[in-house]
Amino acid sequence: MMKWVLLVILLLTVLAIIILFTRVKIFLDYFHGNDNDHFKLTIKAWGGLIKYKIEVPVVKIDDNSPTIIAEEKIQAGPDQNKNQQKTSQVGKNDVLNSIHDVRQILSHIAGFHKIVRGFLKKVTLRNIEWHTMVGVGDAAATGVITGAFWAAKGGVIGILSHYMKLKEMPVMSITPNFQQTISITSFKCMIQVRVGHAILAGIKLVKYWKGGWPEFKSKQLSALSGDNTNSV
């Protein structure tokens, strides 16, 4: 009996070590073409054995109300055979509630920025491709906007390389169109992180939590609030 117990403990220990050292790959793919937006996020681990994909093929402004409509498609499993599709609306109150919740979390965690910076230093960023075509119908204005876009892209890449490990030089381009008004952008990249680093960051966030549980307002987090929740 003791032999089986030791065997189970050994197997669980090996499994825990494998999980902690597992690298998770996150693929981001965003496309914006005038009024057409498309966003896809794919998470892979263990050579694609674990695969989870979120696809938002439609993002548009509602004609009847000041809200954003997003059609979301979720696929899970190595063969993506588990599908889920839903449509959601995001209004002004949803954005304000999310901002409120972020402030609540920041105020309850001591050294939040230090913990996040330490975690991001262990995150690897690869395969950045960022291409843009822009035009406003005026040659001089298009030239000014093109220069501003180059400066903005350089600033964003500089920030990313400061907080994360940037392994390759990004592939970027900006193509000015002097004849017509146009706005097209595509952005792709791959993010790599070890599960153990993410778990450690989560433990630190819990460890340095101060005060009681905050009152969340957004739908996603409001269920976590309540008078019966214990402080950490």
Dihedral of the CA atoms 82, 26, 48, 172 (nearest 10)?
A: 120
- In whole numbers, what is the pLDDT of the chain averaged over residues? 82
Q: What is the pLDDT of residue 101?
A: 74
Instruction: Identify residue 63 by its one-letter amino acid code.
Output: D
Which residue did the predictor score with more confidence, 52 or 77? 52
- Map residue 180 onto helix, strand or coil: coil
Tens digit of each residue's pLDDT (9 = 90 or more) over 9-18? 899 999 889 8
Task: Confirm if 201 and 159 have CB atoms less than 8 A apart.
Answer: no
Tens digit of each residue's pLDDT (9 = 90 or more) over 156-209? 999 999 999 998 899 999 999 998 899 999 999 999 999 999 999 989 888 888
CA–CA gap between residue 178 and residue 136 (Å, rounded): 7
Listed by start position, the domains of the chain span 23-91, 111-186
- pTM comes to 0.77
For 58-95, letters b (16+ CB in 10 Å) and e give ebeeeeeeeebebebebbbeeeeeeeeeeeeeeeeebe
**pLDDT tier for residue 89 given thresholds of 50, 70 and 90:** low
Which residue did the predictor score with more confidence, 124 or 79? 124
